[in-house]
Amino acid sequence: MERIQSALAKARAARDRKLQGANPGTGKKTTESGPWPGLTEMKLNPGHLESNRIVAMHPGPNASSFDMMRTNLLRTLRANGWTRVAITSPTPGCGKSTLAANLAFSLARLADTRVLVIELDLRHPSLIRMLGAGADQNFAGMLAEGKIDYSQIRRAGPNLAFALNAHPMENPAELLSAARTADIIDEIEAQLRPDVVLVDLSPVLVSDDAIAFLDQVDCALMVAGADESRVSEIDKCGKDLATRTQVLGVVLNKCRHMEQEESLNYPE
Ligand SMILES: Nc1ncnc2c1ncn2[C@@H]1O[C@H](COP(=O)(O)OP(=O)(O)OP(=O)(O)O)[C@@H](O)[C@H]1O
Ligand SMILES: [Mg+2]
C-alpha cells in the first residue's frame, strides 16, 4: 500500500510541476485568462435534462443529495490539493454518467468553482445524448490525433465545460494509457485551470479501459447499482481501483427504498 501511495504522490508531483510550468508563478486563475471564456457554448434544454435524470442544475430537493456529495468531495480535493476524480463502477449501467453530470452541475453552481467533465468511457459514450448536446463532438478523436482543439470542449454556463464524444471507439485502452494522451490532458488542465475534473470512465470489471487511465487521476468514486451490483463485484472493483488510485467511496445508486421517508429534504 505504501508503494502505491508513494507512486501516486510522485505522479501528482510531476503533474503539478507541469501545471506550474504552464502558469509560472501563479496558483490562481483569473476568470478572463486562457481559453476557457472562448469555449463554444452548448445550449441545453432543462426538460431534456430532467427526463434524463439530470436534476442538479438548480438548488432544491432533487439536487440536495448531489450538493451534499459535492461538499464532501470538494473538502477532500482541497485538503489534498487534488483536482481529478474518476467516476466508475463495477459493471455497466450503474449510473456513472448520470452521477457525473449531476455532480458537475451541482459543483458549477458554486460561483468560484470551475468544473470540467471529460468523457472517457469511449466504448459507450452517452453524455451527448443525455445532455441533448450537439452531436459533433469528438474529444477522443482529438486525443488520437494528438493535437489540442478547444472546439472539442464546450461550455454549459460560466463554470462548467464538457469534453464529449458522439461516437464509440473500439479498443480504447491503448489511447487511454498513452503518454501523449496524458500530456494532452495535462496541458488542457493547465490552460483551462478547472478546480475539479470529473472523468466519466468505463466500468472496471468488463475491460481494462478504466484501469488504463487511472494513473492519470487523483482519486475515484465507485457507483454501484443498489439492486444490480453484487457485493463480490463491488469488492473486486474496489480492490482493482485501490491498486491504482485513492478510492473515495462507493455511491449506492438506484435505491428504491429511500425515496420518501429516508431521503433528506431540508427546507430551502
Ligand atoms: N438514481 C437512479 N435511479 C433510477 N435510474 C437511474 C438512476 N441513475 C441512473 N439511472 C438510469 O440508469 C440508466 C444507466 O445510467 P447511466 O447511463 O448514467 O449509467 P452508466 O453507469 O453511465 O452506464 P454505462 O456503463 O452504460 O455507461 C439510465 O437509464 C439512467 O437514467
Ligand atoms: Mg455511462
Q: Which helix (H) or strand (E) holds 8?
A: helix 2-22
Average pLDDT over residues 96-101: 98
Fold (CATH) for 2-17+38-254: Rossmann fold (3.40.50)
Could you report the per-residue pLDDT of 134-146, keeping only the tens digit for each?
A: 789 999 999 999 9
Residue 265 has pLDDT above 60, yes or no: no
Give the global pTM: 0.91
Tell me the average pLDDT of the chain.
90
**How close is the Cα of 20 to the center of ligand 2, in Å?**
32
Could you report the per-residue pLDDT of 157-175, keeping only the tens digit for each?
A: 999 999 999 999 999 999 9
Could you report the per-residue pLDDT of 180-198, keeping only the tens digit for each?
A: 999 999 999 999 999 999 9
98 vs 10, 14, 56, 94, 261, CA distance in Å? 32, 31, 10, 9, 23
Could you say which ligand is closest to the alpha carbon of residue 207? 1
Average pLDDT over residues 233-258: 92
Taken in order 59, 60, 62, 65, the sign of the CA dihedral is: positive
Could you say which ligand is closest to the alpha carbon of residue 229? 1
Confidence of residue 258 (pLDDT cuts 50, 70, 90): low
Ligand 1, atom 3, residue with closest C-alpha: 254
**How close is the Cα of 96 to the center of ligand 1, in Å?**
7
Residue 114 has pLDDT above 60, yes or no: yes
Residue 25 has pLDDT above 50, yes or no: no
For residue 262, the model assigns a pLDDT of 46
**How close is the Cα of 95 to the center of ligand 1, in Å?**
3
Ligand 1, atom 10, residue with closest C-alpha: 95
Could you say which ligand is closest to the alpha carbon of residue 256? 1
Q: Where are the domains of the chain?
A: 2-17+38-254
Indicate the DSSP class of residue 42: P
Ligand 1, atom 5, residue with closest C-alpha: 254
Pocket of ligand 1 (CB under 6 A): 53, 89, 92-98, 121, 124, 126, 203, 253-254
Ligand 1, atom 1, residue with closest C-alpha: 254
Could you say which ligand is closest to the alpha carbon of residue 49? 1
198 vs 10, 80, 87, 139, CA distance in Å? 21, 16, 7, 15
241: CB partners within 8 A, 6+ apart: 88, 204, 214, 220, 222, 247
- Residue 230 cell numbers, joined: 453484487
Which residue among 98, 120, 223, 250 has the greatest number of ligand 1 atoms within 8 angstroms of its CB, and so is best to mutate? 98
Confidence of residue 257 (pLDDT cuts 50, 70, 90): low
- Which atom of ligand 1 is nearest the CA belonging to 203? 25
Confidence of residue 212 (pLDDT cuts 50, 70, 90): very high
For residue 135, the model assigns a pLDDT of 82
- Which atom of ligand 1 is nearest the CA belonging to 100? 18
For residue 51, the model assigns a pLDDT of 98
CB 131 within 8 A of CB 101: yes
Indicate the DSSP class of residue 57: S
**How close is the Cα of 121 to the center of ligand 2, in Å?**
7
Confidence of residue 33 (pLDDT cuts 50, 70, 90): confident
Q: Which helix (H) or strand (E) holds 213?
A: helix 209-213
Place of cell 464524444: 165
**How close is the Cα of 180 to the center of ligand 1, in Å?**
31
